[in-house]
Amino acid sequence: MDFELTEEQQMVRDMVRRFAETEIKPRAAELDEKHEHPAEIIKQLWELKIMGIAVPEEYGGGGMDNISYALALIEVSKACASTGAIMSVNNSLYCYPIMAYSTHEQKMKYLYPCAAGEKIGCYGLTEAGAGSDPAALRTTAVRDGEEWVINGEKKFITSGNVASFAVIAAVTEKDKGYKGISSFVIDLENTSGFKVGRVEDKLGILASGTAELIFEDARVPADALLGEEGEGFKQMLITLDGGRIGIASQAVGIGRAVLEEALEYAKTREQFGRSISSFQAIQWKLADMATELDAAELLTLRAAWLEDNNKPYEKAAAMAKTYASDVTMRASIEGVQILGGYGYCKEYPMERHMRDAKICQIYEGTNEIMRLVIARNLLKGK
């Protein structure tokens, strides 16, 4: 068992860490306050080959592995969770399914722009009545000659307000349940009948837009179908497994920021004539944070290693996402507690970390659903 990173993985982590510390972290509070999409930062991440980090170089990506992706996402999210969310969706939920299920021609048309640094991609699954239950999807796609006609609304779509492309799930055969769901990749900029709806006013990750995607008799070409008709549900499950490794990485990054700032504050804040770090109550909080975050990172890297080595990783990804997000939520609450009144004020970033941490327990599969996934695998003996 080898816990050492390869030289390339260390180089990626160190490069992104330097960039995040110097270019992302100083702007994070302002981006959050203004609800501003970090366009310039995303452009620089493309230049570093991070926005399509695991995409082969021939399709504009970085040609790296999923461990490198997890390490990079941890560092980005440590500096700014909103930027981490945008990076995660572009990599895990948009680039991955196209890389895995499309033809070479589709890759050049739909994958290359989002991996190489021209466009942002998003993923449209959730609807008003369909989140944890994909079988309740109401968005439809009907074949009409050499086109598909799409009708429906997607909700809570990360980057939906700035994306140029989207992978969406739609019902192509109503009577087949899960087997009647198909995936489509859509050029949002050049599709009549498409519009961006409401942009949500959220608790956290405020520099990452969350929007409705509305399709009203939207016509897309035949090659918009991803893989075979009726394979959308299977594609969705595998895509979300990888996405959960991304969310686990995002959560670990937020948790690392919490621990770092709590440590620094505890060492400099004095009460009763000494730093609060000398009190056992504070030490125990810090010790628990550090222990749990290390465990969360190991779970995350294990899931990424399993994916890289073509081994089953559904359970490992669910475990990593659940544990990392729960740990980070606890850490952020304790971080606010350690900072006391300052932790509750926007003068310090701790309150932002707490707001940002919460979503990691919700999106890409709520932690309640994740526990069902874990239990299902256990009961099957996997």
Q: Which of these, 376, 219, 378, 374, lies nearest to 299 by C-alpha position?
A: 374
CA dist list (Å): 172 to 80, 138, 169, 229? 39, 10, 9, 7
Name the catalytic one among 75, 212, 314, 364.
Answer: 364
The pair of three-digit structure tokens given for residue 363, joined into one six-digit string: 């999106």
- Contacts of residue 87, defined as CB under 8 A and 6 or more positions apart, other chains included, come to 42, 45, 50, 51, 72, 73, 76
Relative to beta strand 165-171, strand 210-221 is unpaired
Alpha-carbon torsion (229, 160, 158, 86), positive or negative: positive
Alpha-helical segments (H) within the chain = 7-19, 25-34, 39-47, 66-79, 81-88, 96-101, 104-106, 112-116, 232-268, 280-308, 314-339, 350-359, 367-379
Residue 347 annotated among the catalytic residues of the structure: no
Give the DSSP H/E element, type plus range, for residue 225: strand 225-226
Residues labelled catalytic: 364
